[in-house]
Every structure is written in structure tokens, then in C-alpha cells.
Amino acid sequence: MSSSSVFSSQNKAAILAQALPYIRQFHGKTMVIKYGGNAMTEPALQRAFAEDVVLLKLVGINPVVVHGGGPQIETALKRLGKKGEFVQGMRVTDAETMEVVEWVLAGEVQQDIVGLINQAGGKAVGLTGRDGGMIRAKTLNPELGQVGDITAIDPSVVKALQDDQFIPVISPIGFGEANESYNINADVVAARLAMVLQAEKLLMLSNIPGVLDKQGQLLTELTMKRIDELTADGTISGGMIPKIAGAVDAARSGVNAVHIIDGRVPHAMLLEILTGDAYGTMIRSH
């Protein structure tokens, strides 16, 4: 055996040994994963994500995937000649747009993810907030139409699937009192689901390395106090504010840690969970 192959074998053994305490620590625990951005649209990253989810399940961790689909919705609306309209960064969703949102998220996008996970050796099941009466919602703002604000989450269908070796893949669609559908922000759904499931971790795959300081350096760990300071001085701004707000709510509600991870790095999620290295920003609950 050549010295290089011995080295690579030892390397692999070292990596596996490093993962062992983390596997032991998180065995039987639930992790909610918000899946979006590049990780969701680039084929190599899609495959890496699916493999990571399956590996987590195989080592006894319970992954629950919540996905977005903004770019895919935009593409579908353009094909129909419908122009997306936004108020304060949120899509105005009339009845026709809501139909498109439902068939893109619960049809095309969700089934792609389910297929990728199954292809990687897992058993994924697609759900929307209607399944098992999971996500009840009401109008967030009349100007936005069928954009929803969560009123209640019943996680029993997710728990039943988890206990049966399945991996739930959830589209962020809720339903109202008159059985109407609502489009809900996927970050918000992931954060609320993590709270209700008392998840060990909430993992948010993003198109950024994590939270950066004013010099552009990655902040690998943040406390609540530090987040308040960074928001006050403008370091945390723009699209990062709602992401962080959801993360903070989850951390304050008993989710042990929230990770904002760079989804453009292959297997970043696995490396963040099962090694001591940082591939994003971790927000601790204490």
C-alpha cells in the first residue's frame, strides 16, 4: 500500500473519530433544516445536501426539511406572463399567484427534493401545512393578499413520520379558517417548527458565509447580547434582520443552537454539525 493511500485512510479514520462524540450527543434529537439558495439550485450541491440529510438519519438524528422556492415561483409566474409585485420585500399573492405558488412549491420543488433524498438512500415524504392540519394561518397584511401569518402548528404528522424512519420535506403553505391557502415565509415556518418540535438545532442554509462583522470577517458564534449590539450599530441589516429575528426567537424558545450556514459549500451542513470546524454562524440559546 502506498504512503499516500495510508495517509488518506488515516485521514478518513481521524474524521470519523472526530464525528463520533457529535453523533453520540445528537442521537435521537431533531434538527430542522431550512433549505434554500444555491444549495437548492446547483446539481452538485443538491446531491451533497441530499447525502447529508440521509447520513444524519442513518446515524440516528431526525432531520426535518423546510424548503423555500422564490426563484422557481418567479420563473413560473414569468412563464405565465404575470409580473411579481412586492411590498416591503414580500410577494403580493392574489388568488392566481397563490395557485402558482402551491403547484411550484408543493409540486415541482418539493418533489425534486423528495426524489433527491430517496435517490441518496433515504425515505422522504412531502408535506404541506395542510397535511395533518399542521400549519394554521391568517392574513399577515391585507395589502399582500394570501401571505400568511402562522396562528398554530400541530406537529403530530411530522412526529409520526419521524418515528417511522421517514424524512419529512415541508412546503411553507398554511391554511385558514375558510380552508383558504397561505404562502408563508420559509424561514418563519422553519423557526416556528423548530420551537414546536423542541429541536436540538435549527440549520438555515443561505447564500452567504454567515453573519459577517464590519470588516467582512465571519462571526462563528453569537450570543443574544452580541446580536442586539450588532443590530444597533447596523452590522446586521437588510435581509439578514428577519433571518436573525427568526433564529433568535427559536433560540429563546428552547432550540439549543441555530446555525446560519453557507449553502454554497458542499457538505457544509454535515461539517458544521459533526466536526468542531465552523462553516457558518452559530447562535446559542444562552
Question: What pLDDT shows up at residue 254?
Answer: 85
Q: What is this structure's pTM?
A: 0.92
The continuous run of DSSP H or E covering 187 comes out as helix 186-196
| Dist. CA 266–CA 275, nearest whole Å | 14
| Dist. CA 265–CA 88, nearest whole Å | 30
pLDDT tens digit at each of 286 positions of the chain: 444 455 577 777 877 888 899 999 999 999 999 998 777 888 999 999 999 999 999 999 999 999 998 889 989 999 999 887 888 777 899 999 999 999 999 999 999 999 999 999 999 999 999 999 999 999 999 999 999 999 999 999 999 998 889 999 999 999 999 999 999 999 999 999 999 999 999 999 988 888 888 888 899 999 888 888 898 888 887 777 777 888 888 888 889 899 999 889 999 899 889 888 878 899 987 6
- What is the three-class DSSP state of 260? strand
Domains and CATH numbers, the chain: 29-284 (3.40.1160.10)
216 is in an annotated binding site: no
Question: What pLDDT shows up at residue 140?
Answer: 93
69 is in an annotated binding site: yes
Question: What pLDDT shows up at residue 5?
Answer: 55
**Mutual orientation of helices 186-196 and 240-252 as an angle, nearest 10°?**
10
91 is in an annotated binding site: yes
Q: Where are the beta strands (DSSP E) in 164-251?
A: 167-171, 173-175, 181-183, 201-206, 221-222
